[in-house]
């Protein structure tokens, strides 16, 4: 990936859809099973997976596997992703988080897969291949021994944004509260040395609970401390376009407080069409989108709901502001 300006982070996304045929004997589409999950909130052996992979070469290549599955008769949330420890001699380490799933998690995810049309009619955009360093997304439902898959060859298309946002919300909860382990070839391992603090502190971040009336004021105080050390701070206030009115109100209140502070600038995300890329089929192509940030944010403030409470969480933006969080600086939730 090439950036056209140092201040911008540009992510190239190909709007390409693909669907894998179900395995032999897989039976009909998973729509009826997803409708049951949306009503009952129980997996009963169904597995839902949302996978994002690709990007830059190792060790930066992503392979983030989020799953809703049943383990020992319990429905759980699970995140598994590659783990790189410069001090370890082992290759192929996996970092895994697990947390009990609420019935509301099952209902919401199933409903979003239905509402966003993941397993709806096929289209020409389901063919082709994206750029070598693009991020691919797969949505997989396994039920009754059959696997139903849609593969978006270079990122999730815009109609799937509500589903992607919900998966990211659950990933945030997993990283903040889940049980964490490091595995090698499926076996847990204990490493003699963890990597640098900034890549691990998110798993130890404690969610702090404060009165709702103090939430915005406390966010301002914490940004003040960060600003005093940096002198200038580019912030991306991240709240979903599908957020409820209370979340939008908190985001606006936070912005009003922060925009009065000298040295604060707000990063803006833009989306523009790019040059079509050949898909690999004769005469075929995929339409490109370019996601850019101006200026590139130093810090991201995620504003939304976590376990039924209004929360504001701060994290480093890193090279890819759209990537799932690897760590948290702090998490504030209102009671």
Find the angle CA(242)-CA(248)-CA(252) to the nearest 5 degrees. Answer: 145
Q: Where are the domains of the chain?
A: 11-334
**Alpha helix (H) ranges present in 188-321?**
201-204, 212-230, 245-258
| pLDDT recorded at residue 223 | 93
Phi, psi of 51 (to 5 degrees): -120, 135
- Distance (Å, whole) CA 60 – CA 133: 11
**Alpha helix (H) ranges present in the chain?**
31-40, 103-115, 161-177, 201-204, 212-230, 245-258
The DSSP 8-state label assigned to residue 126 in this structure reads G
Cβ distance 1 to 133 under 8 Å?
Answer: yes
- Distance (Å, whole) CA 59 – CA 90: 13
- Distance (Å, whole) CA 152 – CA 52: 10
- Distance (Å, whole) CA 248 – CA 237: 11
pTM (whole model) above 0.95:
no
| pLDDT recorded at residue 324 | 64
| pLDDT recorded at residue 319 | 75
- Give 10-residue mean pLDDT values along the chain (335 residues): 34 34 49 93 94 65 87 91 71 86 94 90 54 73 88 76 89 85 80 41 63 92 89 87 76 92 90 57 54 86 80 84 74 87
The helix/strand/coil state of 273 is strand
Phi, psi of 120 (to 5 degrees): -80, -160
Buried b (16+ CB within 10 A) or exposed e, 14-40: bbbbbbeebeeebeeebeebbebbbee
């Amino acid at each position: 990936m090439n950036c056209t300006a140092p201040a911008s982070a540009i992510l190239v996304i190909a709007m390409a859809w693909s669907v894998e045929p179900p395995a032999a004997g897989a039976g009909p589409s998973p729509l009826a099973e997803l409708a049951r999950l949306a009503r009952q909130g129980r997996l009963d052996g169904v597995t839902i997976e949302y996978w994002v992979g690709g990007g830059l070469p190792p060790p930066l290549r992503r392979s983030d596997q989020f799953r809703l599955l049943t383990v020992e008769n319990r429905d759980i949330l699970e995140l598994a992703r590659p783990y790189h420890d410069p001090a370890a001699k082992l290759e192929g380490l996996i970092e895994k988080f697990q947390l009990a799933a609420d019935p509301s998690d099952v209902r919401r995810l199933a409903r979003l897969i239905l509402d966003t049309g993941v397993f709806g009619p096929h289209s020409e955009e389901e063919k082709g291949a994206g750029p070598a360093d693009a991020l691919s997304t797969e949505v997989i439902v396994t039920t009754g021994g059959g696997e139903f898959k849609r593969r978006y060859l270079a990122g999730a298309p815009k109609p799937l944004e509500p589903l992607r946002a919900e998966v990211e919300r659950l990933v945030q909860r997993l990283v903040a509260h889940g049980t964490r382990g490091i595995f090698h070839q499926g076996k847990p391992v204990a490493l003699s040395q963890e990597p640098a603090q900034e890549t691990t502190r998110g798993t130890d971040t404690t969610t702090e609970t404060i009165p709702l009336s103090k939430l915005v004021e406390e966010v301002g105080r914490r940004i003040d401390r960060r600003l005093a050390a940096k002198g200038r701070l580019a912030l991306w206030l991240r709240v979903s376009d599908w957020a409820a009115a209370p979340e939008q109100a908190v985001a606006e209140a936070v912005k009003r407080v922060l925009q009065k502070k000298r040295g604060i600038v707000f990063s803006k995300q833009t989306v523009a069409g790019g040059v079509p890329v050949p898909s690999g089929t004769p005469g075929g192509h995929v339409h490109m989108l370019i996601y850019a940030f101006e200026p590139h944010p130093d810090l991201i403030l995620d504003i939304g709901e976590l376990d039924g409470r209004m929360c504001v969480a701060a994290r480093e933006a890193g090279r890819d502001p759209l990537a799932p969080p690897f760590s948290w600086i702090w998490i504030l939730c209102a009671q």
